[in-house]
Amino acid sequence: MRLILLIAWRNILRHRGKSLVIGAILFLGALLMTVGNGVISGMAAGVEKNIVNGFMGDLVLISDKQKSDNILFEMMGAAIEPVSNYKAIKEILQKQEFVDRFLPVGKNLAMVLKEDEATPSGAYLLGVDFSDYRKMFPDNFKLIEGRWPRPGERSLLAPAFARQQFYDFANLWLVPEGGGKPLEPWPKEVVGNLKNVTVSTNIVMMGMASDVNTTTDIRFPVVGVVKFGALNKIFGHFCLVDIESYRECLGYFTASNKAVEVPKEEKRLLDMGGNDLDSLFGSAPLVVSNARSSGSKPPSGATSPLTLSLSKGEPSAPANVEDGVYNLVFIKLKPGVPYREALSRLNRALADGKTGIRAIPWNKASGPIGSMALIIKSALFIFVTLLFCVAIIIIVNTLTMAALERTSELGMMRAVGARKSFIGGMFLGETAILSALFGGAGLLTGILAVKLIPLFKITSDNDMVQILYGGDVFHPLLAAPDIVLSLFQLAAVTVFAAVYPMSVARGITPLDAISKD
Amino acid sequence: MNIIEIRGLKKDYPLGDTLVNALRGVDVTVESGEFMSIVGPSGSGKTTLLNVIGCIDFATEGSVQIGGREITAMNDRQITDLRLHKIGFIFQTFNLIPVLDVVENVEFPLLLMKSLSRSEIRKRADRLIAEVGLQSFAKHRPSELSGGQRQRVAIARALVTNPDIVLADEPTANLDSVTGASILELMKDMNTQEKTTFVFSTHDANVLKYARRIVKIHDGLISPN
Q: What is the least distance, in Å, from the CA of B15 to any CA of chain A?
A: 14
ipTM of the complex, rounded to two decimals? 0.89
Counting the structural domains of chain B, the total is: 1
Residues of chain B with pLDDT under 50: none
Compute the C-alpha angle A231/A234/A238, nearest 5°. Answer: 120
Check CB contact of B85 with chain A, cutoff 8 Å: yes
Q: What is the least distance, in Å, from the CA of A406 to any CA of chain B?
A: 10
DSSP state of A471: S
Helix (H, G, I), strand (E, B) or coil at A125: strand
Check CB contact of B51 with chain A, cutoff 8 Å: yes
Side-chain half-sphere exposure of A459, counting CA atoms within 13 A:
7
Do B83 and A416 form a contact (C-beta atoms < 8 A)? yes
Side-chain half-sphere exposure of B211, counting CA atoms within 13 A:
21
Contacts of B95 in chain A (CB under 8 A): 408-409, 412, 415, 513, 517
Contacts of A6 in chain B (CB under 8 A): 100, 104
Residues of chain A with pLDDT under 50: 258-262, 268-318
- Taking the CA atoms of residue A135, residue A141, residue A144 and residue A147 in that order, the dihedral angle to the nearest 10 degrees is -20
Of A14, A408, A417, the CB nearest to B112: A417
SS (H, E, C) A228-282: ECCCHHHHCCEEEEEHHHHHHHHCCCCHHHCCCCCCHHHHHHHHCCCCCHHHHHC
Percent composition of chain A: helix, strand, coil (DSSP 3-state, to 5):
55, 15, 30
Q: The CATH number of the domain where B14 resides is what?
A: 3.40.50.300
What is the domain extent for residue B210?
Answer: 2-223
Helix (H, G, I), strand (E, B) or coil at A290: coil
* Element spanning A22, H or E: helix A16-47
Q: Please name the residue ranges forming H helices in A353-367.
A: 362-365
Contacts of A423 in chain B (CB under 8 A): none
Selection from A290, A292, A266 nearest residue A279 by Cα: A266
What is the predicted pLDDT for the residue at B151?
85
Check CB contact of B112 with chain A, cutoff 8 Å: yes
What is the predicted pLDDT for the residue at A299?
34
Full-model pTM: 0.67
Output the CA–CA distances (angstroms, integers) from residue A322 to A64, A352, A495, B91, B218, in the order listed: 20, 22, 60, 94, 108
Q: What is the least distance, in Å, from the CA of A496 to any CA of chain B?
A: 25
- CA–CA gap between residue A311 and residue A484 (Å, rounded): 60
Number of other CB atoms surrounding residue A127 within 10 Å? 29
Whether residue A517 and residue B93 make contact (CB cut-off 8 A), yes or no, is yes
**Which tens digits make up the pLDDT trace of A120-178?**
778 899 999 999 999 999 888 889 999 999 888 899 999 999 999 999 888 889 999 88
* Element spanning A309, H or E: strand A307-309
What is the predicted pLDDT for the residue at A38?
84
What is the predicted pLDDT for the residue at A470?
65
**Which tens digits make up the pLDDT trace of B121-177?**
999 999 889 888 888 999 999 999 988 888 889 888 988 888 889 998 888 777 778
- CA–CA gap between residue B52 and residue B165 (Å, rounded): 13
- CA–CA gap between residue A251 and residue A308 (Å, rounded): 12
